[in-house]
Amino acid sequence: MTYWPVNNQHDLEDLRAFLKESALPADDIQLEGNQFAIYRDSSGKILGTGGLEFYGDYCLLRSVAVAPDYRGSGLGKEIVTDLISRAKDKSVWSVSLLTETAQGFFEKIGFQNVARDKAPKEIQSSSEFSTVCPVSAVLMSCDLSGKSIL
C-alpha cells in the first residue's frame, strides 16, 4: 500500500469519486492546510482513503474508506494508524471524528465517545461538524497529548 498525497485537482476528483462510492461526504473537502491521501496498490488501484483537517491544536479525521474487497483485512486500521502518526508529527493535542456507521471500529483502536457539546470550538466550526454530518453522528476523540493509542 502506497500513501499518495492528494495535492492536485485530478487526485481530488479521484478521492471524491471513491468517497461517493463509499457513501461518504466529499464535496466540502478543502486541501489547503489539510492532508488527504489515497492509498493505492502497486498497480495504482485505490485501496482506501483518509484525511486530516487541522484546526489549531486539534484535527478532524475524516474520509476514511476502504475498497469493498479489502474491508476486514486490517487496511482500515493501517490507514488510521498512518494518519494518527501524521497528526502527531503536527503536534496536535487530539484527533476527533464523526461517524454514523463505524463507532465499533474506532472504539477498538482507541477512540472514545465524546458529547458533541464537549468538542473543541475549533472542531465545532468545521463544515463536517456544523453542516455535513447529521446530529445523529457520534463524535469520537483520541488524545495525542501523551498516551499512545495504537
Q: What is the pLDDT of residues 18-72, one digit of tens each?
A: 999 999 999 999 999 999 999 999 999 999 999 999 999 999 999 999 999 999 9
- For 90, 91, 116, 137, the CA distances from 113, given in Å and listed in that order, are 23, 22, 9, 11
Q: Residue 146 pLDDT more than 80?
A: no
pLDDT, residue 133, reads 85
Domains of the chain: 2-143 (3.40.630.30)
- pTM confidence score: 0.92
Q: Which residues pair with 94 in a beta bridge?
A: 58, 143
> What confidence score (pLDDT) does residue 131 get?
87
Question: What is the DSSP secondary-structure string of 4-62?
Answer: EE--SHHHHHHHHHHHHHTT---TT---TT-EEEEEE-TT--EEEEEEEEEETTEEEEE
pLDDT at 114 (0 to 100): 94
pLDDT (0 to 100) of residue 150: 45
pLDDT tens, residue by residue, 111-133: 999 999 999 999 999 998 888 88
φ/ψ region of 121 (left if φ > 0, alpha if ψ in -120 to 50, else beta) reads alpha
Residue 136's pLDDT is what? 87
Contact (Cβ atoms closer than 8 angstroms) between residue 1 and residue 45: no
67-102 tens-digit pLDDT: 999 999 999 999 999 999 999 999 899 999 999 999
